[in-house]
Amino acid sequence: DGGITQSPKYLFRKEGQNVTLSCEQNLNHDAMYWYRQDPGQGLRLIYYSQIVNDFQKGDIAEGYSVSREKKESFPLTVTSAQKNPTAFYLCASRGARSDNEQFFGPGTRLTVL
Amino acid sequence: AQSVSQHNHHVILSEAASLELGCNYSYGGTVNLFWYVQYPGQHLQLLLKYFSGDPLVKGIKGFEAEFIKSKFSFNLRKPSVQWSDTAEYFCAVKGQAGTALIFGKGTTLSVSS
């Protein structure tokens, strides 16, 4: 079954702690993305990676970090520097063809207590 | 900077009513446009996309959208909605930088039976 998996589905964190969200895809896609979804705000781009070992900041990268050591995996770390981390986080991937769309994972809901 | 504007935050319709959701984007160059849908508890999924050619694009579940270049618009339409169309709808444009998408803030559609 091809697709994107994100884990965990729900995550709780205490203030001041870093936490890492997992994103794995078996679609053989080169490009991967992290978005944050807040009510009434749509999706905002945090980071993206077009190829292994390379990634770029999106519109709201402050307080987040990523790595792309393997094609299948693009983990996102929410650091203690992120001022308002409670949100729904969506990972996506995209194939190489120029007319390809992004495919999305099921998301992780992060709550900071 | 590119942006996407969705005119309606929340639309409430009865079954069999016609639907039109507005989407305007700001970018003067070649655009790739998308409508995504997020049904309650489900992944974000693609409804339809426009890359080139016929400006009237047909998607899944009877949805269509018309690209009007002169108006910078990509409105989503459906002649007769069903209760199962209740969802959040996002318009997106492919950004200038890389392959990431820029999303509108979303429109929540509620259909009553």
Provide the shortest C-alpha distance from residue B100 to chain A (in Å): 7
Residues on B contacting A at a C-beta cutoff of 8 Å: 4, 6, 9, 32, 34, 36, 43-46, 49, 51, 90, 92, 95, 97-106
φ/ψ of residue B69, rounded to 5: -60, -40
Least confident of A58-72, A96-110, B13-27, B88-102: B88-102
Q: What is the pLDDT of residue B96?
A: 63
Residue B35's nearest CA partner among B69, B60, B1, B9 is B60
Tell me whether residue B10 is exposed, middle or buried, using C-beta atoms within 10 angstroms of its C-beta: 0 to 12, 13 to 18, 19 or more.
Answer: exposed
pLDDT > 90? residue B111: yes
Residues 6+ apart with CB under 8 A from B28: none
Contact assignment for A58 to B99 by CB distance below 8 Å? no
10-residue averages of pLDDT along chain A (113 residues): 87 92 95 94 94 94 97 96 93 84 94 91
Beta strands in A1-113 (DSSP E): 4-7, 10-13, 19-25, 31-38, 42-51, 54-57, 64-66, 76-78, 87-94, 102-104, 108-112
Query: β-strands A42-51, A31-38: how paired?
Result: antiparallel
Q: What is the pLDDT of residue A1?
A: 58
3-state SS class at B62: helix
Q: What is the pLDDT of residue A2?
A: 67
Residue B56: Cβ within 10 Å count: 11
Query: β-strands A102-104, A54-57: how paired?
Result: unpaired
Give me the count of residues in chain B. Answer: 113
Prior bond to A8 cis, omega within 30? yes
CB-defined contacts A:B, below 8 A: 53
The tokens of B73 are what? 């618009």
